[in-house]
Amino acid sequence: MNLPFKRDKKIAILGATGLVGLQLIKVLERRNFPVSELRLFASQDSIGKPLLFHKRLMNIQPVDFSNIDIAFFATDGTSSKKYYPAAKEAGCVVIDKSSAFRMDPLVPLVIPEINGHEIAKHRGIIASPNCTTSLLALPLFPLHTAFQIKRIVVATYQAASGGGKKQLQKLLQDAKESTLDLFPHDSALTPNGYVEEEVKMKEEAQKIMRATFALSATCVRVPVIRAHSLAINVEFHLPFTLDKVYEILHQSPGITVYEDRVNNRFATPLFASEKEEVFCGRLRCDASHANTLEMWVVGDQLLKGAALNAVQIAEYL
């Protein structure tokens, strides 16, 4: 991608020692993002800890946004809300991966392949969507443009690393003790029985895609280390053919159709791990219902679901 600016940027990462923070550093390296200065922030007890950027040692510093151009917030909603005023005061642009500002009507919620044009409207902060929402919206948006989504039923298979370092450690322990398990998503329950993750998928996807459709989700964590999978049943207003669906997906940026029907092999979490693309497969007409498509989607939730999307937003800036 050609960067729209020549000047190198002063970058900060808040939450640099977390799973997403560490990925952000890697993605900035791999995509050769033009960085003139990188400041890494984390919790108080991490100050002084070293991390590597382009093979140089960088220490975690006390939070200070002065002269920073772009601050990535790789934190939870509470921390994002706490530090945003200081970042705004310092005049830097925040790219926030937390849920704190996503549904704020004044904050663009962006997947660059879908609504990159909205980045220009920012007032100091741009939100990056929930990881599961990103993996849902990226392949569905071009299909929505063609056939108009009416209703989505989705079940997720989310990796342990989506729950942070603690959950990842628990998975490794479970693997050792042969107590591998899966469980419904651990975000807070809302009054109607859906967990917040399931509500976010609907609200955020609709905001990003500027569309209104029905969506019911069941979010489940599975004992894999990395990459989320989704079983999506999507009904369109307009009729479609599978050939046309393949054609659209083949032309859409960020998506790779991965199907080996002969050997019954499709993208799996292990296959998608550390890859930037989102993989689609198992495309089927739902024979039991008109204008309805079944598809299987897998993507690295730490990359397109988080760090990569944030860096892509920064590249647009």
Which residues does 215 contact at the CB level (< 8 Å), separation at least 6?
151, 152, 153, 154, 201, 202, 205, 206
- Count of chain residues binding its own copies (CB under 8 A): 53
Whether 131 is a known active-site residue: answer: yes
**Residue 171 CB, nearest distance to its own copies (Å)?**
8
Q: Of residues 172-201, which lie at the interface with its own copies (CB under 8 A)?
A: 172, 175-176, 178-184, 186, 188-189, 192-195
The rounded distance, in Å, linking the Cα atoms of 24 and 315 is 13
Which residues does 105 contact at the CB level (< 8 Å), separation at least 6?
none
153 makes contact with its own copies (CB under 8 A): yes
Q: Which residue in 54, 61, 56 sits closest to 17, CA to CA?
A: 61
**Residue 195 CB, nearest distance to its own copies (Å)?**
7
Q: Of residues 155-174, which lie at the interface with its own copies (CB under 8 A)?
A: 155, 157, 171-172
The rounded distance, in Å, linking the Cα atoms of 88 and 23 is 24
197-230 core/surface letters (b: 16 or more CB in 10 A; e: else) = bbbbbbbbbbbbbeeebebebebebbbbebbbbb
CB atoms within 10 A of CB 146: 14
Binding mask 208-247 for its own copies (x = CB under 8 A): ------xxx-x-x-xxxx---x-x-x--------------
Among 240, 266, 275, 317, binds its own copies (CB under 8 A): 266
**DSSP conformational letter for 49:** -
**Active site residue: 92, 144, 228, 280, which one?**
228
**Active site residue: 131, 144, 185, 219, which one?**
131
Whether 228 is a known active-site residue: answer: yes
Which residue matches tokens 């807070």? 188
282 makes contact with its own copies (CB under 8 A): yes
Which residues are at the interface with its own copies (CB under 8 A)?
Answer: 151, 153, 155, 157, 171-172, 175-176, 178-184, 186, 188-189, 192-195, 202, 214-216, 218, 220, 222-225, 229, 231, 233, 261, 264, 266, 268-271, 282-289, 292, 294, 296
Which of the residues are catalytic? 131, 228
